Amino acid sequence: MRNFDLTPLYRASVGFDRMADVMDRALSADIASYPPYNIEKTGENAYRISIAVAGFGADDLNVEVKDGAVIVSGRKSPEEEGRTFLHRGIATRAFERRFTLADHVRVDGASHEDGMLNIDLIREIPEALKPRRIAISKTVKAVEKLDS
């Protein structure tokens, strides 16, 4: 795998620290595959992160927003003794998954149903940043003729 040095980006720009940090994390992070997840666009300004958390109950999961990221963690409570598995294929190991949020994106809610944890996100653009139409006036300036 290639290693990228983003130091020149930090030296040559002001105010792009967050973007550089996101790129740095994306390039240096190990790609974890557990638990699997989907990110979908559900509307013009709405998104949903769906994470497959089979074997975890709602009490075993934690969703937190911190430093511009959604952090999802799961820790299975201790199992009852006396159970004997002939085959154990459902993974219930502890995990932590982090999703960096863009500016003006906030978590709208989370739900747990049928082994899926769904986190709904919404992008709220402030009025000052929304595009606005400027009216163009159609006034015609009259040219005055001077009698000489």
Decide if pLDDT at 107 tops 90: yes
Type of residue at 6: L
CB 72 within 8 A of CB 61: yes
**Residue 79: its pLDDT value, please?**
74
**Residue 61: its pLDDT value, please?**
95
67: left (phi > 0), else alpha (psi -120 to 50), else beta? left
User: Bigger pLDDT: 21 or 91?
Assistant: 91
Per the prediction, the chain carries an average pLDDT of 82
Going from the C-alpha of 148 to that of each of 141, 142, 145, the distances in angstroms are 22, 19, 9
Within the chain, all domains assigned CATH 2.60.40.790 are found at 35-127
**Residue indicated by tokens 């720009």:** 13
Average pLDDT for 60-83: 89
Non-local (6+) Cβ contacts of 35 within 8 A are: 51, 52, 53, 74, 91, 95, 97
Decide if pLDDT at 31 tops 70: no
User: Bigger pLDDT: 130 or 100?
Assistant: 100
The gap from C-alpha 14 to its chain's centroid, in whole angstroms, comes to: 23
Q: Is the overall model pTM greater than 0.75, yes or no?
A: no
**Residue 141: its pLDDT value, please?**
66
Average pLDDT for 142-147: 62
**Residue 128: its pLDDT value, please?**
82
CA distance 127 to 67: 23
Decide if pLDDT at 64 tops 90: yes
**Residue 130: its pLDDT value, please?**
78
**Other beta carbons less than 10 A from residue 70's beta carbon:** 20
Q: 35-127 in CATH: which number?
A: 2.60.40.790
